[in-house]
Structure 1
Amino acid sequence: MRDGIVDFLKQHRDETDIFCFQEADGNMPEICGETLPNYKQINSYKYVSEYDEFPQLTCIHNDINIVSSGVLFEGNMTAGLGLYVKINVTDQKITLLNFHGLSRPGDKLDSPDRLKQFRGVIDFMQRWSKIRIIGGDFNILPDTESIELFEKQNYRNLIREFNIPTTRNRIVWEKFPDNKQLHSNYAFVNKEVTIKSFSVENIEISDHLPMILEIL
């Protein structure tokens, strides 16, 4: 799928400030380095088991002022992995978390570890700037307590709000025909975020569909 990813990056790089990747294994840092030469890279990796590996990559345009960045749950073997970055844009401080949640159990339902993981995400983000964005592959279904945790903290669930029918595609459905799951990726913003647009493009550059968010 390299060609498809490269084409997607070239198509969107002139209008995109930040790209976030989960499961960015293999040569994704090299691909982004070649295709996005005007972007800085923040990356990390964690191995929990053969089913739970967390290669993460966030690419930020050089015009964006990075105040600080780091890794969430780096040494925690019962949680996923997050890359956070605090940026300053037109005198607004924005904190973005690029998150990949635990993939097991494969039913994508609540579990004690998943609930603890998401509570940790919410608690961590409360410490940062007023404008907060959380997005990525959460590995959880929509009608779960895990998702309610964010909504009860007054985060806007953009997948629900914009009536996104699916964030997956036939690549994964053909691989797991007896367990067709429509949602795994989410974008949450708090009330201080003014959204200009949000969409999920139906293109097969991965077994997950890309989410595209533009804020004012």
Structure 2
Amino acid sequence: MNIMCLNGWGGKLHTSLLPYLQSTAPDILCLQEVVHSPASDKDWLTYRDGDHILPQRANFFRDVSRALPEHTAIFCPAAQGVLWDRDRAVPSQWGLASFVHKSLPIIGQIQGFVHKSYSPDGYGDHPRSRCAHGIRVYDNALNRTISVTHMHGLRDLRGKLDTPERATQASRLLDLSRQVSEAADIAVICGDFNVEPDSETLTLLTDAGFVELVTTRGFTSTRNSQYSKPGRFADYMLINDTKAVQRFDVIYDPEVSDHCPLRLTL
């Protein structure tokens, strides 16, 4: 089984990302920073937050769903705000998505918030609402059940420092993973956590019996040349049973986002 985790950067590099997903076709794809604008048929809209202006792939969830037609696609919104078509405001949902190959029966599922709650009337002030999604599948090849839970950790304008909000977020993420898992499962927790390797978030998860794969396997960054700011870590993948790991990679080439895909083979 192949599990991939990626912050999709709102689909900014979709011309590279979609062929990459089609060629790799992970059995489970955990995708963060997903845009879903069902009221618009536009390919591109603009996100505006003060001086922070970004192009957004208006129907990124639809794009990835079409690229992976053999997968069950699940969108989990954190908030609904507006994107802009020039001077016209377009309602648009923002959140994360999970894609599970249809050969894998989904036998458990959980969706919840790790910070704040659903915001229907705008994206809100930072730190904004954040959700998480967990699925439990049965893998006939491994003859085992596997749970995979992911989140997009909150962004704090002060940086990636430890905060009470991030500690609460980590506890809620762990709780969601435990709710969707059973004792004998291979359990995976992943996502763009927006924290440093020595964070309270990772300490809490490792104290709970998970092993973090990015730093323990010698990778020195989960960012690529698309990202020019300081700080080379954001994304992590943890597992409760390292004996099940056949291979783990941080993918630097091709560049399909300003984050690197994390790819785990069980």
Q: Is TM more than 0.5 here?
A: yes
2:123 is matched with none
Following TM superposition, by how much is the alpha carbon of 1:166 offset from its aligned partner in structure 2, in angstroms?
0.5
1:76 is matched with 116
Following TM superposition, by how much is the alpha carbon of 1:145 offset from its aligned partner in structure 2, in angstroms?
1.7
Report the 3-state secondary structure (helix = DSSP H, G, I; strand = E; otherwise coil) of the residue aligned with 1:169: coil
The structure in which a higher percent of residues are strand is 2
Aligned length in residues:
206
Q: For residues 55-204 of structure 1, what are the structure 2 equivalents within 5 Å?
A: 55-73=95-113, 76-77=116-117, 80-90=130-140, 91-127=143-179, 128-129=181-182, 130-173=185-228, 176=229, 180-191=230-241, 194-202=244-252, 203-204=254-255
1:32 to 2:35 alignment: no
Task: Please give the per-residue CA displacement for 1:90-124, whole angstroms capped at 9, x wherever unaligned.
Answer: 24221111211111144111100000110121233
Distance 2:21 2:225 in 1: 22
Whether the aligned pair in 2 keeps the contact of 1:79 and 1:113 (CA below 8 Å) is no
Q: Which amino acid aligns with 2:16?
A: G
Following TM superposition, by how much is the alpha carbon of 1:197 offset from its aligned partner in structure 2, in angstroms?
0.3
The structure in which a higher percent of residues are helix is 1
State the identity %: 23
1:21 is matched with 31
Runs of 4+ in 1 over 6 A off after TM superposition: none
| TM-score, normalization by structure 1 | 0.87
Following TM superposition, by how much is the alpha carbon of 1:172 offset from its aligned partner in structure 2, in angstroms?
2.2
Distance 1:62 1:48 in 2: 29
Q: Which amino acid aligns with 1:3?
A: T
User: Against the structure 1 CA distance between its residues 199 and 36, is the aligned structure 2 distance closer, same or farther, given a 3 Å change threshold?
Assistant: same
Whether the aligned pair in 1 keeps the contact of 2:111 and 2:134 (CA below 8 Å) is yes
Distance 1:159 1:74 in 2: 22
User: Against the structure 1 CA distance between its residues 134 and 193, is the aligned structure 2 distance closer, same or farther, given a 3 Å change threshold?
Assistant: farther
| TM-score, normalization by structure 2 | 0.72
Distance 2:174 2:210 in 1: 10
2:88 is matched with none
Structure 1: any 5+ residue segments left out of the alignment? none
Whether the aligned pair in 2 keeps the contact of 1:99 and 1:138 (CA below 8 Å) is yes
Give RMSD over aligned pairs.
2.2
User: Against the structure 1 CA distance between its residues 149 and 137, is the aligned structure 2 distance closer, same or farther, given a 3 Å change threshold?
Assistant: same
Report the 3-state secondary structure (helix = DSSP H, G, I; strand = E; otherwise coil) of the residue aligned with 2:79: strand
User: Against the structure 1 CA distance between its residues 106 and 168, is the aligned structure 2 distance closer, same or farther, given a 3 Å change threshold?
Assistant: farther
Distance 2:74 2:243 in 1: 23
Task: Please give the per-residue CA displacement for 1:14-59, whole angstroms capped at 9, x wherever unaligned.
Answer: xx21111100123222212221111110111113999xx8511111
Distance 1:166 1:137 in 2: 13
Task: Please give the per-residue CA displacement for 1:60-119, whole angstroms capped at 9, x wherever unaligned.
Answer: 111011112231217834762111111111242211112111111441111000001101
Whether the aligned pair in 2 keeps the contact of 1:22 and 1:54 (CA below 8 Å) is no
Q: Which amino acid aligns with 1:37?
A: P
Structure number with the bigger relative contact order (C-alpha 8 A, sep ≥ 6) is 2
Query: If you compute each CA radius of gyration, which structure gives the higher value, 1 or 2?
Result: 2
Following TM superposition, by how much is the alpha carbon of 1:161 offset from its aligned partner in structure 2, in angstroms?
1.6
